[in-house]
Amino acid sequence: MTQITHHIPDDILDAWRAGALSHPYAVVVAAHLSLCDECRAAVETADMIGGALLDGLEGQALDAGARQRMMDALDTPAPPPVRGSGVFPAPVVAALGGQPPQWRMLGGGIRQQILSADREGALRLLYIPPGRAVPEHGHRGLELTLVLQGSFSDSEGAFLRGDVETAHDSIDHQPVAGPGAPCICLAATDAPLRFHALLPRLLQPIFRI
């Protein structure tokens, strides 16, 4: 595993733990946690505090039959776990519905698959050939981008597998895919992206990027 240097910011991790993130952001956080032991340990540490508080709670009596119902339920089969596949960790496989990605061409060799797009925001996979730039864009809200394969770099630095870029609406950036394997990344926004060139803007409603 490569060394992950760009992590989920604390406030976003806290929001994920509280269940307060919209679906697109939550998938990016879960995918990063699947790859990043440091952030997973941060969640576990917070849960240790929760566990200590739980231990200190005054219990409430359960229904008289609750214990027996519980013991009777132990033979029900466990739900099968979702497993990762290739470069896609389990939460991305779940967002793909268990299917391999079905890329759509965006031009210039860039491909994408939209995994969800609704009032909660948009989640998509992007495939960028080595050395190719994603059109320069700013965005209205927060964009979280997780690298799953290859790398990209922009004004904020270099991002490798497992790294997350947290881009607020003030950042105008032009990610360029690194050499070697094509860059595959998972990107979540809470609003459609703004592209600066006229043509991409016209195409925006068609491609929903």
Partner 1 sequence: MDEPVIQALSSQTCDLIAVRDQRDRAAFGRLFDHFAPRLKAMMVKGGLRDGSAEDAVQDVMLAVWHKAAQFDPHRADAAGWIYGIARNRRIDLARRRPLAQPEDLPEIESDAPDPAQILALQQEASHLVAALCRLAPEQAEALRAAYFDDIPHSRISEMTGLPLGTIKSRIRLGLERLRHELRKIAP
The residues of the shown chain that bind partner 1, judged by CB under 8 A, are 16-21, 23, 26-27, 29-31, 33-34, 40-41, 43-45, 47-63, 66-67, 69-71, 73-74, 76, 78-79, 81-84, 89-91, 94-95
Please name the amino acid found at residue 167. A
Nearest to partner 1 of 23, 208 (CB atom):
23
- d(C-alpha 7, C-alpha 172), whole Å: 20
Q: How far is the CB of 155 from partner 1 (least distance, A)?
A: 29
By beta-carbon proximity to partner 1, the closer residue of 13 and 193 is 13
**Residue with Cβ nearer partner 1 (59 or 205):** 59
Gap between the Cα atoms of 192 and 135, Å rounded: 14
C-alpha to C-alpha distance for 13 and 20, rounded to whole angstroms: 10
46 touches 17 (CB < 8 A): yes
Buried b (16+ CB within 10 A) or exposed e, 79-103: eeeeeeeeebbebbbbbbeeeebee
Instruction: Give CA–CA dist 32/141, Å, rounded.
Output: 20
Query: Minimum distance from CB of 132 to partner 1 (Å)?
Result: 29
Min dist. Cβ of residue 4 to partner 1 (A): 14
CB of 13 to partner 1, least distance (A): 12
CB of 156 to partner 1, least distance (A): 24
Q: Which is nearer to partner 1, 71 or 198 (CB)?
A: 71
